[in-house]
């Protein structure tokens, strides 16, 4: 029986790498699948991992209809045994419902990969619906770490080095690597957008690695007596 799988974890936990590996494993057994993504760091219609691996994909836009796409492919003589759906947190609740319908009505396996919460610590609509509908939910075992060494549980966004908790939910960052190994999106008109994983304590305090470093390097207060 086909199933709807949801693989989740924070950033840096290897979701996109696992998506690519899952596709490889199924393709190696002679199965034919299709890969989908949305707002990937590498650009439109590309699934990329932080290890540098990439694969062509179908871009999931706001008005993309999974059901119509799959039914049209099948009626035209195509074959689809499974779907790989990366960055599924950005899909709408309706699109997740379409994926569940594909599993139930067409008996096609769906493997969805995405983070649970945004930079405000609120559930993404797509991830929320996946939690509600998935036959299997898998939390990735590769633990991302906060700068303090504790397990990272929250995703943080910084603008020009300052952590923010307000703004548009979907803002693509995490593009060319900077000197600290972090990733950022730069142009002449917008802020430098970066993402970082933190433990709950430091997310609550808005204490990023850069800010912690700055505090630790601050001069000691002068003694008075």
87 is catalytic: yes
CA distances to 7, 109, 139, 170 from 18, rounded to whole Å, are: 9, 16, 12, 23
Contact 156, 204 (CB under 8 A): no
| Count of Cβ atoms closer than 10 Å to residue 24 Cβ | 12
CA distances to 8, 175, 207 from 156, rounded to whole Å, are: 17, 16, 10
Given 59, 87, 132, 159, the catalytic residue: 87
Q: Phi/psi at 121 (nearest 5 deg)?
A: 70, 30
Maximum distance among all alpha carbons in the chain?
86
b/e for 115-150, b at 16 or more Cβ within 10 A? bbbbbbeebbbbbbbbeebbeeeeebeebbebbeee
Which active-site residues does the annotation give? 87
């Amino acid at each position: 029986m086909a199933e709807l799988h949801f693989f989740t974890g924070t950033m840096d936990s290897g979701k996109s790498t696992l998506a690519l590996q899952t596709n490889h494993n199924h393709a190696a057994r002679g199965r034919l699948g299709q890969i989908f993504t949305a707002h990937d760091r590498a650009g439109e219609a590309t699934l990329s991992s932080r290890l540098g691996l990439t694969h062509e994909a179908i871009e999931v836009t706001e008005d993309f209809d999974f059901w119509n796409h799959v039914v049209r492919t099948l009626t035209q003589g195509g074959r689809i045994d499974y779907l790989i759906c990366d960055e599924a947190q950005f899909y709408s609740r309706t699109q997740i419902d379409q994926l569940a319908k594909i599993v139930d009505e067409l008996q096609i396996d769906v493997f969805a990969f995405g983070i649970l919460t945004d930079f405000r610590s609120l559930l993404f609509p797509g991830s929320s619906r996946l939690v509600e509908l998935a036959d299997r939910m898998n939390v990735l075992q590769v633990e991302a770490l906060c700068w303090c060494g504790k397990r990272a549980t929250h995703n943080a966004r910084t603008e020009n080095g300052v952590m923010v908790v307000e703004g548009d939910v979907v803002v693509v960052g995490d593009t060319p690597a900077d000197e600290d190994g972090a990733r950022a999106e730069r142009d002449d008109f917008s802020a430098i957008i970066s993402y970082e994983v933190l433990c709950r304590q430091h997310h609550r305090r808005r204490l990023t690695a850069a800010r912690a470093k700055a505090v630790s390097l601050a001069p000691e207060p002068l003694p008075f007596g």
